Structure 1
Amino acid sequence: MDLEIIAHRGFSVMAPENTLVAFTAALQQGANSIECDLQISADGVPVIFHDATLNRITGTSGTIREKTIAELKQLDAGAWFGEQFAGEGIPTLEEAVAGFKMVKDFLYFDVKPNSEWSDREVDDLGQLLIQEDLLTRSIMTSFNEGFLGKIREFFPEISLGYFITDVSNFEQQLQKAVAVKNAILSVYYPVILEQPQWVEQSRQQGVDLVVWTVDSLEDVKQLRSVGVRRIITNSLIGNFEV
Structure 2
Amino acid sequence: MARDCAFSWGGKSSALARLGLAFLLFAAPHAQAFDLQAHRGGRGLRPENTLASFEHALRMGVTTLELDIAITADGIPVISHDAALNPAITRDAQGRWLQERGPLIRSLTLAQVQSYDVGRINPTSSYARAFPDQQPRDGQRISTLAALFKLVNDLGAKDVHFDMETKINPHHPESTLEPEAFVKTMLEVIREAGMTQRVMVQSFDWRTLELLHRLEPGLRTMYLTIAAPDFHTLTDGSWTAGHLLADHDGSVPRMIRASAENFPGVIWAPNYNNLSAPLVKEAQSLGLQVIPWTVNQEPLMERLIEWGVDGIITDYPDRLREVLTQKRMPLPEGVKN
Q: What's the TM-score once normalised by structure 1's chain length?
A: 0.89
Report the CA distance between 1:225 and its aligned residue: 1.0
Report the CA distance between 1:161 and its aligned residue: 1.2
Of the structure 1 ranges 225-234 and 59-68, higher mean CA displacement relative to structure 2 is found in 59-68
Does 1:112 find its partner at 2:193? no
- Give identity over the alignment, percent: 25
Q: Is the 8 A contact 2:46 2:136 kept in 1?
A: no
2:214 aligned residue:
153
Structure 1 unaligned segments of length 5 or more: list them: none
Letter in structure 2 aligned against 1:96: L
Alignment of 1:64-143 (within 5 A): 64-80=105-121, 84-101=136-153, 102=157, 104-113=159-168, 114-117=175-178, 119=180, 122-143=183-204
1:222 aligned residue:
303
Structure having the higher strand fraction is 1
1: distance between equivalents of 2:138 and 2:284?
44
Q: Is the 8 A contact 1:163 1:173 kept in 2?
A: no
Paired residue secondary structure (2:88): helix
Q: Is the 8 A contact 2:79 2:145 kept in 1?
A: yes
Q: Which has the larger radius of gyration?
A: 2
Of the structure 1 ranges 165-174 and 38-47, higher mean CA displacement relative to structure 2 is found in 165-174
1:190 aligned residue:
273
1:71-98 deviation per Cα after TM superposition (whole angstroms, max 9, x unaligned): 0011111133689522110000011112
Q: Is the 8 A contact 1:44 1:121 kept in 2?
A: no
Distance change >3 Å, CA 84–CA 173, structure 1 → 2: closer
Paired residue secondary structure (1:56): coil
Distance change >3 Å, CA 3–CA 160, structure 1 → 2: closer
2: distance between equivalents of 1:223 and 1:17?
24
Structure 2 unaligned segments of length 5 or more: list them: 1-31, 91-96, 123-133, 169-174, 229-233, 235-244, 246-251, 328-337
1:200-238 deviation per Cα after TM superposition (whole angstroms, max 9, x unaligned): 111111111111111111001110111113000111327
Letter in structure 2 aligned against 1:42: A
Of the structure 1 ranges 197-206 and 158-167, higher mean CA displacement relative to structure 2 is found in 158-167
1: distance between equivalents of 2:48 and 2:258?
33
1: distance between equivalents of 2:45 and 2:282?
36
2:43 aligned residue:
12
Q: Is the 8 A contact 1:199 1:227 kept in 2?
A: yes
Alignment of 1:7-86 (within 5 A): 7-54=38-85, 55-58=87-90, 59-60=97-98, 61-80=102-121, 84-86=136-138
Would you say how many aligned residue pairs link Structure 1 and Structure 2? 240
Q: Is the 8 A contact 1:6 1:32 kept in 2?
A: yes
Q: Is the 8 A contact 1:39 1:64 kept in 2?
A: yes
Q: What's the TM-score once normalised by structure 2's chain length?
A: 0.65
Q: What root-mean-square deviation, in Å, do the aligned CA atoms of Structure 1 and Structure 2 show?
A: 2.4
